[in-house]
Amino acid sequence: MGEFLSAVGDVLSSESTYLSGWRFACALAFVALGEWVAERAGTINVSVEGAMLAGAFAAVVGGDLTGSIWVGLLFAVVAGLLVVMIQAHLSHNLTVNQFVVGLTINILVAGTASYLNSSLSPASPKAHVFEVPGLVEIPVLGPALFGQPWPLYLLYPLIPIMWWVVYRTRWGLEVRAAGENPQAADVSSVNVNARRRQAIYVAGITSGLGGGYLLLGWIGRFEDAIVGGQGFIAIAAVYFGGWTLRGTMFGCLLFGSVNSFRISLPGIGYQINSEMLSALPYVLTILVLAIFSKRIREPQSLAQPFVRGLR
């Protein structure tokens, strides 16, 4: 027990722990932001995993073709959007089961990206680290929050923008109505399925951006396992947060911290079973879903297809 506490103390006192933990958390937060919007509209968008992977691959292709980080991020956003447009059409135009559609899309994207990567072998530039003057000097947390690759800083304004759009605009009100009581929203002249599709588009844009950040701002090269289930963990973060933006971001921070803990322990010299450490984030995800799934109130019509006139 004493050795475990000593290990925890060493990890918590390491600056690299906070640096990697914040990077993990922000990668999840990009995806979770859009997923939160989609679920508030009534859709569990399982295809965010595929959208994030497509964004990462498109980013490396865009960066390789142009040498520009901005163009790479634009490619990533477009790729993420194209992936979820398939989900949106099949789920809310043709009312195909959204879970089956999402899993199928994820498998399709994974196979396609792997094939194209082996065929093209693209290589892209990596975004430089931008240190915010003054703030980066804050002890321990300063480098983690304000000494990161610049694409990460896109998340900082994105969070309040999403909050404002969902809670302070008519569109956001209609999105929330589509997730809570779609029949009542329909009576009020809200195009429920259109709002749900639009919410999924938002998830695709942020997931693609998350994949672009992951590749251009952090990893620097494309690998088949670059996403590694982070889309599913982002979905779990939305559940953990009780479908609130604040709770969702806290969930991303929690999962990011666990990932960082997993990496930091071997880095500071502690020898722990590597398979057990690799499984730690996913074990936590399962525990969170098991504990919180029945204790929090989800949007009333979450995962329920809307057909006009049916209750």
Taking the C-alpha atoms of residue 72 and residue 70, their distance in angstroms, rounded to an integer, is 5
Q: For 141-180, how does the pLDDT look when each residue is reduced to its tens digit (9 = 90+)?
A: 888 899 999 999 999 999 999 999 999 999 999 999 999 9
Q: Across all residues in the chain, what is the average pLDDT?
A: 88
Q: Is 102 domain-assigned?
A: yes
Would you put residue 123 in left (φ > 0), alpha (ψ -120 to 50) or beta?
beta
Question: Could you tell me which residues come within 8 angstroms of residue 129 by beta carbon, excluding any fewer than 6 positions away?
Answer: 147, 148, 149, 150
DSSP 169: S
The answer to whether the beta carbons of residues 252 and 28 sit under 8 Å apart is: yes
Taking the C-alpha atoms of residue 82 and residue 76, their distance in angstroms, rounded to an integer, is 10
Write out the residue range of the structural domain in which residue 118 sits.
Answer: 17-229
Which one is predicted more confidently, 137 or 5?
A: 137
Q: For 97-117, how does the pLDDT look when each residue is reduced to its tens digit (9 = 90+)?
A: 889 999 999 999 999 999 999
Residue 20 tokens read as: 């990697």
Task: Return the pLDDT at 259.
Answer: 83
Q: Which of 41-45, 137-141, 305-309 has the lowest mean pLDDT?
A: 305-309
pLDDT above 80: residue 284: no
The answer to whether the beta carbons of residues 234 and 28 sit under 8 Å apart is: yes
Domain count, the chain: 1
Q: Tokens 């803990």 belong to which residue?
A: 261
Q: Is 247 domain-assigned?
A: no
Task: Return the pLDDT at 1.
Answer: 47
The contacts found for 75-79 with CB under 8 angstroms, 24 or more apart, are 75/212, 76/208, 76/209, 76/211, 76/212, 76/215, 76/216, 77/205, 77/208, 77/209, 77/212, 78/208, 79/51, 79/54, 79/55, 79/208, 79/211
pLDDT above 50: residue 251: yes
Average the pLDDT over 88-94 and give the result.
89
Percent of the chain with pLDDT over 90: 61
Q: Which residues pair with residue 130 across a beta bridge?
A: 148
Average the pLDDT over 178-206 and give the result.
94
Residue 196 CA, chain-centre distance (Å), reads 18
What burial class does residue 282 get, using C-beta atoms within 10 Å of its C-beta: 0-12 exposed, 13-18 middle, 19+ buried? middle
Find the length of the chain: 311
Average the pLDDT over 68-92 and give the result.
95
Q: Is 36 domain-assigned?
A: yes
Q: Is 105 domain-assigned?
A: yes
Task: Return the pLDDT at 232.
Answer: 92
The answer to whether the beta carbons of residues 252 and 234 sit under 8 Å apart is: yes
pLDDT above 80: residue 296: no
Residue 127 tokens read as: 């975004």
Q: Is 134 domain-assigned?
A: yes
The answer to whether the beta carbons of residues 57 and 222 sit under 8 Å apart is: yes
pLDDT above 90: residue 216: yes
Q: Smallest Cα–Cα separation from 45: which of 188, 156, 208?
A: 208
Q: Is 238 domain-assigned?
A: no
Taking the C-alpha atoms of residue 174 and residue 249, their distance in angstroms, rounded to an integer, is 23
The answer to whether the beta carbons of residues 272 and 8 sit under 8 Å apart is: no
Q: Is 62 domain-assigned?
A: yes
Which one is predicted more confidently, 299 or 50?
A: 50
Phi, psi values for residue 296, rounded to 5°:
-125, 155
